[in-house]
């Protein structure tokens, strides 16, 4: 039982490049979330999903896209990376109670 697996752990992107942050959970959780965490700002919700085929915007969705084709996977796509997207990204999932987090992705856009 791996829990929430997030890849990659670190990535440096050039401005304008695109990439996908992968998130997989093996706990059969319906709810999945993507957060970004910036110094002094706390966790901000980017996108979330209440089940396969359903996604919705969070507080800071601009510049990102998601999909949820299966219960297990919830990838986050950056199409045109910008310096403002330099952050630490966390994927999380939950069933009815606490959220379980992945290990985080530290992304730097230069």
Partner 1 sequence: ILNVEQSPQSLHVQEGDSTNFTCSFPSSNFYALHWYRWETAKSPEALFVMTLNGDEKKKGRISATLNTKEGYSYLYIKGSQPEDSATYLCAFMRAGNNRKLIWGLGTSLAVNP
Which lies closer to partner 1 via its Cβ, residue 24 or residue 94? Answer: 94
C-alpha–C-alpha distance, residues 74 and 95, integer Å? 15
Least Å distance, CB 10 to partner 1, is: 12
Beta-carbon count within 10 A of 49 CB:
21
For the chain, the distance separating the N- and C-terminal CA atoms, rounded to the nearest angstrom, is: 36
Question: In the range 18-77, which residues lie near partner 1 by CB under 8 A?
Answer: 31, 33, 40-43, 45, 48, 50, 56, 58
> Least Å distance between CB 68 and partner 1?
13
Task: Answer yes or no: are the C-beta atoms of 25 and 51 closer than 8 Å.
Answer: no
Across-strand partners of 35?
Answer: 45, 90
Closest to partner 1 by CB, 30 vs 86, is 30
Between 64 and 102, name the residue whose CB sits nearer to partner 1. Answer: 102
Residues 6+ apart with CB under 8 A from 60: 36, 44, 45, 46
| Residue whose CB is less far from partner 1, 63 or 104 | 104
Binding site for partner 1 (CB under 8 A): 31, 33, 40-43, 45, 48, 50, 56, 58, 90, 94, 97-104
């Amino acid at each position: 039982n791996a829990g929430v697996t997030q890849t990659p752990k670190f990535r440096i992107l050039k401005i304008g490049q695109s990439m996908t942050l992968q998130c997989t959970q093996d706990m059969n959780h319906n709810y999945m979330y993507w957060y970004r965490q910036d110094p002094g700002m706390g966790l901000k919700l980017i996108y979330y999903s209440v089940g396969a085929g359903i996604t919705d915007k969070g507080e800071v969705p601009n510049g990102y896209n998601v999909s949820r084709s299966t219960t297990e996977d919830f990838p986050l796509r950056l199409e045109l990376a910008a310096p403002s997207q330099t952050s630490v990204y966390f994927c999380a999932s939950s069933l009815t109670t606490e959220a379980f987090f992945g290990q985080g992705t530290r992304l730097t856009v230069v």
